[in-house]
Amino acid sequence: MTNPSDGRGKLLFTPGPLTTSRAVKEAMLQDLGSRDTAFIDTVRRIRQRLLTLAGVSQERGYEALLMQGSGTFGLEAVVSSTVPRGGRLLVLVNGAYGERIVQMTGVLGIDTRVVRYAENTPLDVAEVRQVLAEDPAITNVSAVHCETTTGLLNPVEELGAVVREAGRYFFVDAMSSFGAIPLDLEAACIDFLVTSANKCLEGVPGFSIVLARREALLATEGAARALSLDVQAQWRGLEANGQFRFTPPTHTILALEQALQELEKEGGMAGRAARYRANHAALIDGMRRLGFQVYLRPEHQSYIITSFHYPDDPRFSFGVFYERLNEKGLVIYPGKLTHADCFRIGTIGQIFTQDVERLVAAVGQVLEEMGVSMAAPSPASSS
C-alpha cells in the first residue's frame, strides 16, 4: 500500500487487471457453494444484466454465458467451438490481440485466412467485403474492437454489416471496450462477443463473458474442439440448472455483481464513457504539455488506453521510468508495438481525473530526476 493520499493502494493505469472499488473487493468476503441458490440467483441476474448492457435480451434472441479463466480463455472458447469443422476463419489483424487469435487457430488446427494492417491503421471494411466475396470457404470472421496494443478503435459496426450481408458469422474481441464504449450487439450484427470481468466492467479477474446470438450459438453443434471451453455446452449447463459444469469462480462472480451495480449507478455505459473520456482528455493534455507525442492519429485513438513515444533522449530508460512511478504507487504499462518504442497508459478502472493529474505530475517529476529533456511541447491538436 504505497498510495499515501487516500489509502486505495497502487493505482493501475494499465489495460487490466485494473483498480477496483473497495465495495467490489469486499463483495468477495463470502464463501458460497456452487449449488447455493443465492449464488445461482446471482449468476442469473448477472447474465441478464450483461445482455441489457449490450442492448439485447433473451426475448430478442441473445444469450450470455460466463467462462472460467482470463479473457484469452473466452476468446479461445469461441474460436475453438464456433468455427465449424471444415470451416475457415478470416482473422483481421492490426495488433498483438489479433495476432493472438491467429496463434490460437494454429494450435487448434483451424483453417485460417489472415488479413493484416499496420498497427496504426484501422481494419479496412471495403477490403473485407472483397475478401469475403472472393473466398467462399470463409465461414467466420474475427475482429478486435479496441486494439489494446495501441488503443486503436476498429469500425466493428461497419464490419458487422458487411459480414452479415455476406452470410458469415462475426466474432468480436471487445475485451477492453465492453462496458465503456457503447456497442449494440444487434445493430452491429455481432454473433459472438467476448469480454472479461476485469476490464471496463471494473470487476476482478477470474472469468470471461461470452455474448451470443442464440441462432448462431445453436448452429455450433459439434464444432467444439475442447471439453472445458465448449461455449454451447457451457450455455446449456447454465440454462439447465443455473450451474457451471466445473468449479465456478464464486468470489469473483460476487465481485462482478457489485461492479455491475456500480456501473448502473454511474449512468451505465454512457456514464462510464464520460468518466473515461475525461480521464483520457486529462492524460493527453498533461502529457502533451510535458512534450510527449501520441503514437496514433487522434481520429483512431480510443479513450481506453494511449501509446506514447519514448522521449528522444538517450537518458530515458523505460525500466527506470516504470520503477520510479511504481515506487510512487502509479503503475503504467510497457508498449507492445513491433515498429516503435512506446509505452502505454490506461485510463480505465476506478480512476478519476485527479488521479490522472497526479500521474502526469509524477511523470514530469521522474523525467526531471532522470535528467531527460523533452522536445518542445507539440502544438495542441484537434482532438
Ligand X SMILES: *Cc1c(COP(=O)(O)O)cnc(C)c1O
Residue 84: cis peptide before it, omega within 30 degrees of 0: no
How far is Cα 120 from Cα 94, in angstroms, rounded to an integer?
Answer: 8
Part in contact with ligand X (CB under 6 A); list of ranges 1-9, 46-54, 70-78, 333-341: 70-78
Least distance from ligand X to the Cβ atom of residue 72, Å: 3
Q: Which is nearer to ligand X, 145 or 288 (by Cβ)? A: 145
Least distance from ligand X to the Cβ atom of residue 79, Å: 12
Q: Which is nearer to ligand X, 197 or 224 (by Cβ)? A: 197
- The only residue of 14, 19, 68, 72 in contact with ligand X, by rule CB under 6 A: 72
71 binds ligand X (CB under 6 A): yes
Least distance from ligand X to the Cβ atom of residue 65, Å: 17
DSSP 298: G
Alpha helices per DSSP H over 6-70? 22-26, 37-53
Joined together, the cell numbers standing for residue 376 give 518542445
Three-class secondary structure of residue 196 per DSSP? strand
Alpha helices per DSSP H over 155-195? 156-165
Instruction: Assess contact for 155 and 125: CB atoms under 8 A.
Output: yes
Q: Which is nearer to ligand X, 328 or 344 (by Cβ)? A: 344
**Nearest to residue 100, comparing CAs of 120, 119, 75, 137?**
75
- The only residue of 11, 13, 14, 16 in contact with ligand X, by rule CB under 6 A: 16
Three-class secondary structure of residue 27 per DSSP? coil
Least distance from ligand X to the Cβ atom of residue 353, Å: 23
List, as one string, the DSSP characters of 310-371: PPS-TT--HHHHHHHHHHTTEE-EE---SSS-EEEEE--SS--HHHHHHHHHHHHHHHHHHT
Separation in Å, CA 243 to CA 2, 63, 140, 251, 347? 40, 15, 29, 15, 35
Number of residues that bind ligand X (CB under 6 A): 12
Q: Which is nearer to ligand X, 272 or 358 (by Cβ)? A: 272
How far is Cα 185 from Cα 66, in angstroms, rounded to an integer?
Answer: 17
Q: Which is nearer to ligand X, 132 or 152 (by Cβ)? A: 152
Three-class secondary structure of residue 31 per DSSP? coil
Q: Which is nearer to ligand X, 144 or 263 (by Cβ)? A: 144
Instruction: Assess contact for 53 and 177: CB atoms under 8 A.
Output: no
- The only residue of 68, 70, 120, 140 in contact with ligand X, by rule CB under 6 A: 70
Part in contact with ligand X (CB under 6 A); list of ranges 6-14, 67-75, 211-219, 336-344: 67-75
144 binds ligand X (CB under 6 A): yes
- The only residue of 97, 117, 169, 192 in contact with ligand X, by rule CB under 6 A: 97
How far is Cα 54 from Cα 186, in angstroms, rounded to an integer?
Answer: 9
Task: Give the torsion through C-alpha atoms of 369, 375, 149, 300, to 10 deg.
Answer: 140
Q: Which is nearer to ligand X, 97 or 170 (by Cβ)? A: 97
Residues 148-207 that bind ligand X (CB under 6 A): 148, 173, 175-176, 196
Q: Which is nearer to ligand X, 72 or 139 (by Cβ)? A: 72
Q: Which is nearer to ligand X, 175 or 217 (by Cβ)? A: 175
Residues 21-60 that bind ligand X (CB under 6 A): none
Q: Which is nearer to ligand X, 32 or 114 (by Cβ)? A: 114
Least distance from ligand X to the Cβ atom of residue 16, Å: 5
12 binds ligand X (CB under 6 A): no
Least distance from ligand X to the Cβ atom of residue 99, Å: 11
Least distance from ligand X to the Cβ atom of residue 115, Å: 17
Question: In what side-by-side order are the strands of the sheet with 88-93?
Answer: 62-68, 207-213, 192-196, 169-173, 138-144, 88-93, 111-116
Least distance from ligand X to the Cβ atom of residue 374, Å: 29
Least distance from ligand X to the Cβ atom of residue 203, Å: 12
**Which single residue brings its beta carbon nearest to ligand X?**
71
**Nearest to residue 220, comparing CAs of 140, 109, 113?**
140
Least distance from ligand X to the Cβ atom of residue 239, Å: 25
Site residues (vs ligand X, CB under 6 A): 15-16, 70-72, 97, 144, 148, 173, 175-176, 196
